[in-house]
């Protein structure tokens, strides 16, 4: 592998910017992809986030863009991203590595006004970064002509599939010139994605930097058995957070966005520096929360899969799965938030008895067991055969609902978010999502109906909640209250 960026064929402007960014050695995907991109080859990059894949297309694109110039309403390159945050992140990469260029960039994502972006497009954009729904919206309004696109990047294709964007992608591919270069990235290659590449890529070079469906070796993965009850899961989570001595900051994943909000509020009430990130928040608050987390003002980020997808936060020490993801691939994406770029990280998954089949699917996918970590003080809901004897034990002690060590905790029976419509059918697998921006970033998981939980009743003592001081570094700074 090359020891530095000088032998890859990148222009001096680009290598200077890379050096200024502090990167000296190309990552594996960069070393393998960059020379081929510069030769104008189509690429299939099978790489997880955290491998440096963004720079693997941004750097050679900048070099290629040095010749030629943009024409009004005809972007020269198009980068499709599944979420606004990812799109914004790619834009940041273009700014960072393109600081020696005078290229124009437009960003078409939900939640921000079109006005400024339209002005850029009208003048002529070298780079257009967009989510598929927004892009098609603007195309239909006649704001963009796609006939000048030389390079198309489809990033996080498997997530596009999850979000129902594949028909949009197919449509967009049909609107672009046939003679274009396509750079295609995906962490996994399910059959639908394979089909897409067969159809739209020409003689692609396939680059795979980590075993498909693998998890990084730098992540210490653990499993903690917990009860199905949300309040007990929250108590267990707090105990885990307090117990992890090397925890600097963490992303905590929930399966449903309602639970994201509830858990964030619960952690805040317990004195933690915590913020929520989910698809229903407006763009401004999402960016603010993300920024607070990146700049260390916020220590715990509670997130849904869609909102957190591909977030580039290099120094996350811990990932918690408050819920076991129902789609095994999400496990890889989630824990991939830690242990990035060679750093070590810890992932802890809270598994309830009802999660068995999801765990099995994960273990099968990652082809390894996740060691079970025992946490003193956490009550594990016993399997059915043990439950009978345990209930006898409870009767003797006079407790009706909890296991031996758990005291009642009124503060943690909260579900303050409004309930979903009770009679909706669960969505089918991989549904086609709404095409328009308001819905473009919702996952099927986020849309699933959630049963109403009991109302908040106020604080009281807890076996985990108020039993010890919150470590100082996890306390909310007063500015974020």
**Interaction site with ligand AMP (CB under 6 A):** 23, 25-27, 30, 49-55, 312, 314, 340-341
Closest by CA to 8, choosing from 51, 52, 46, 63, is: 63
* Residue entry with tokens 């978010």: 417
Minimum distance from CB of 92 to ligand AMP (Å)? 9
Task: Show Cβ contacts of residue 330 under 8 Å, excluding neighbours closer than 6 positions.
Answer: 305
Structure tokens at 359: 């765990």
Minimum distance from CB of 24 to ligand AMP (Å)? 7
State the distance between the two ends of the chain, measured CA to CA, in whole angstroms. Answer: 48
Minimum distance from CB of 107 to ligand AMP (Å)? 17
Q: Alpha helix (H) ranges present in 176-215?
A: 191-200
Query: How far, CA to CA in Å, does 297 sit from each of 111, 125, 274, 283?
Result: 24, 35, 9, 19
Phi-psi region of 80 (alpha: psi -120 to 50; beta: other; left: phi over 0): beta
Of 24 and 367, which CB lies nearer to ligand AMP in the complex structure? 24
Closest by CA to 77, choosing from 96, 46, 98, 48, is: 98
The answer to whether the CB of 184 falls within 8 A of the CB of 204 is yes
Structure tokens at 235: 């108590």
Minimum distance from CB of 50 to ligand AMP (Å)? 5
Of 153 and 261, which CB lies nearer to ligand AMP in the complex structure? 153
Residue nearest to ligand AMP (CB): 54
Closest by CA to 359, choosing from 222, 452, 240, 459, is: 222
Q: What is the Cα–Cα distance from 89 to 365, expressed in whole angstroms? A: 28
The answer to whether the CB of 302 falls within 8 A of the CB of 263 is yes
Minimum distance from CB of 442 to ligand AMP (Å)? 23
Of 155 and 231, which CB lies nearer to ligand AMP in the complex structure? 155
Q: What is the residue-wise DSSP string for 166-184?
A: HHHHHHHHHHS-SS-EEEE
Minimum distance from CB of 333 to ligand AMP (Å)? 12
Structure tokens at 70: 């943009």
Of 341 and 363, which CB lies nearer to ligand AMP in the complex structure? 341
Of 164 and 310, which CB lies nearer to ligand AMP in the complex structure? 310
Of 312 and 447, which CB lies nearer to ligand AMP in the complex structure? 312
Minimum distance from CB of 164 to ligand AMP (Å)? 23
Task: Show Cβ contacts of residue 321 under 8 Å, excluding neighbours closer than 6 positions.
Answer: 253, 331, 334, 335, 347, 348, 349, 350
Provide the pairing of β-strand 318-321 with 345-351: parallel
Minimum distance from CB of 200 to ligand AMP (Å)? 22
Of 55 and 453, which CB lies nearer to ligand AMP in the complex structure? 55
The answer to whether the CB of 270 falls within 8 A of the CB of 378 is no
Minimum distance from CB of 299 to ligand AMP (Å)? 19
Of 56 and 268, which CB lies nearer to ligand AMP in the complex structure? 56
Of 70 and 335, which CB lies nearer to ligand AMP in the complex structure? 335
Of 287 and 341, which CB lies nearer to ligand AMP in the complex structure? 341
Provide the pairing of β-strand 250-253 with 127-130: unpaired
Minimum distance from CB of 341 to ligand AMP (Å)? 4
């Amino acid at each position: 592998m090359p020891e530095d960026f000088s032998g890859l064929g990148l222009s001096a402007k680009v290598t200077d910017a890379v050096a200024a960014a502090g990167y000296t050695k190309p990552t594996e995907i960069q070393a393998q992809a960059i020379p081929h991109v510069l030769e104008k080859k189509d690429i299939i990059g099978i790489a997880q986030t955290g491998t440096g894949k963004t720079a693997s297309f941004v750097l050679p694109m900048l070099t290629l863009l040095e010749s030629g110039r943009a024409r009004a309403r005809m972007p020269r390159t198009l980068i499709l991203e599944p979420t606004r945050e990812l799109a914004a992140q790619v834009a940041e990469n273009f700014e960072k590595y393109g600081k020696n260029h005078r290229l124009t960039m437009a960003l078409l994502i939900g939640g921000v006004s079109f006005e400024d972006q339209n002005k850029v497009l009208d003048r002529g954009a070298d780079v257009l970064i967009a989510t598929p729904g927004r892009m098609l919206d603007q195309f239909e309004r006649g704001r963009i002509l796609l006939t000048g696109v030389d390079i198309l990047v489809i990033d996080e294709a498997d997530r596009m599939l999850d979000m129902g964007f594949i028909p949009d992608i197919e449509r967009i591919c049909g609107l672009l010139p046939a003679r274009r270069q396509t750079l295609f990235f995906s962490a996994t290659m399910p059959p639908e994605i394979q089909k897409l590449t067969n159809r739209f890529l020409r003689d692609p070079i396939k680059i795979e930097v980590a075993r498909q469906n693998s998890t990084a070796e730098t992540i210490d993965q653990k499993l903690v058995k917990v009860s199905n009850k949300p309040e007990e899961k929250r108590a267990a989570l707090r105990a885990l957070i307090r117990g992890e001595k090397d925890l600097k900051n963490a992303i905590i994943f929930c399966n449903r966005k309602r639970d994201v909000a509830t858990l964030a509020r619960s952690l805040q009430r317990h004195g933690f520096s915590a913020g929520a990130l989910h698809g229903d928040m407006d763009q401004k608050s999402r960016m603010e929360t993300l920024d607070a987390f990146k700049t260390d003002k916020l220590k715990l980020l509670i997130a849904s899969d869609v909102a957190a997808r591909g977030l580039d936060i290099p120094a996350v020490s811990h990932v918690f799965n408050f819920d076991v993801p129902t789609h095994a691939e999400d496990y890889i994406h989630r824990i991939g938030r830690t242990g990035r770029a060679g750093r070590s990280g810890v992932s802890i998954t809270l598994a309830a008895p009802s999660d068995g089949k999801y765990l099995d699917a994960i273990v099968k996918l990652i082809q390894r067991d996740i060691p079970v970590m025992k946490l003193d003080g956490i009550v594990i809901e016993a399997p059915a055969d043990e439950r009978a004897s345990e209930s006898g034990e409870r009767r003797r002690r006079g407790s009706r609902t909890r296991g031996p060590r758990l005291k009642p905790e009124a503060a943690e029976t909260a579900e303050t978010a409004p309930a979903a419509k009770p009679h909706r059918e669960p969505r089918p697998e991989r549904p086609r999502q709404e095409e328009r921006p308001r819905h473009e970033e919702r996952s099927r998981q986020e849309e699933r109906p959630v049963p109403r939980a009991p109302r908040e009743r106020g604080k009281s003592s807890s076996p985990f909640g108020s039993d010890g001081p919150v470590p100082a570094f996890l306390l909310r700074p007063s500015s974020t209250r």
